[in-house]
């Protein structure tokens, strides 16, 4: 087994399909007390309810926090933006919601004080911001539950940089709930003028097709194992 050293691990949000790999990732490094900036909501039990009665559970075991600590992580609960890796990247923390388009995940629920309550905003969703010299910002999302337009505008607000150079990651615009927002999302992206758009994960085929149609020179097809050098 190859062993890796790292300065920190950044968790995008607490849903188990994004947090479940933290233990295996830690096994790849011999370093202890690896910083893990994460929002307190990431440790909530959550679920998604569908109109047809289906329920998808997104559990966070009660001992998950202690398991991560025992594995060698130094959990740092952060709601606000923070600098990491020798101040070379910003982790956004909670993303400001500033438009009437991206209203979150309406059928998402979180356990609060022992009771499942509607929790559409998923406040632990966070992104990474890097500055590419002389070119602008590279913004990396995962699911992008905060809304890709919210995230990009927040990145500009935090940095004072108006240029968006690259957008890499999920936009969560698949399915009947989110697909009606695609036209306005495309309009927002066109106004922000990213040089490169690399939709991944849960973005959805329809928004990918619209990006290709509307912004063909910006679009890059992503695949597992791709390395981007800017």
Do 17 and 81 touch, CB atoms closer than 8 A?
A: no
- pLDDT above 70: percentage of residues in the chain: 93
Q: Does the domain made of 16-214 have the CATH classification 3.60.15.10?
A: yes
Q: What is the pLDDT of residue 2?
A: 39
Of the candidates 116, 33, 25, 20, the residue with the CA atom closest to the CA atom of residue 64: 20
- Give per-residue pLDDT as tens, 139-192: 999 899 999 999 999 999 999 999 999 999 999 999 999 999 999 999 999 999
What are the C-alpha distances in Å from 21 to residues 9, 17, 76, 141, 200?
Answer: 11, 8, 18, 17, 18
């Amino acid at each position: 087994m190859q062993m890796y050293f790292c300065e920190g691990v950044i968790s995008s949000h607490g849903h188990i399909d994004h947090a479940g790999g933290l233990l295996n990732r830690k096994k790849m490094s011999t370093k202890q007390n690896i910083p893990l900036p994460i929002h307190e909501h990431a440790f909530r039990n959550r679920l998604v309810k569908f109109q047809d009665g289906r329920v998808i559970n997104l559990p966070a075991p009660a001992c998950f926090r202690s398991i991560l600590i025992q594995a060698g992580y130094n959990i740092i609960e952060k709601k606000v933006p923070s600098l990491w890796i020798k101040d070379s990247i910003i982790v956004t923390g909670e993303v400001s919601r500033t438009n009437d388009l991206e209203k979150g995940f309406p059928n998402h629920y979180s356990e609060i004080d022992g009771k499942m309550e509607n929790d559409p905003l998923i406040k632990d969703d966070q992104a990474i911001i890097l500055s590419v010299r002389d070119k602008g910002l590279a913004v990396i999302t995962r699911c992008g539950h905060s809304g890709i337009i919210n995230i990009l505008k927040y990145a500009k607000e935090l940095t004072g940089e108006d240029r968006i150079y690259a957008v890499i990651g999920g936009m969560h615009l698949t399915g009947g709930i989110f697909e009606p927002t695609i036209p306005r999302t495309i309009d927002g992206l066109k106004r922000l003028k990213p040089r490169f758009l690399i939709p991944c994960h849960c973005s959805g085929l329809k928004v990918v097709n619209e990006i290709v149609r509307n912004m063909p020179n910006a679009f890059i097809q992503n695949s597992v194992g791709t390395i981007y050098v800017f």
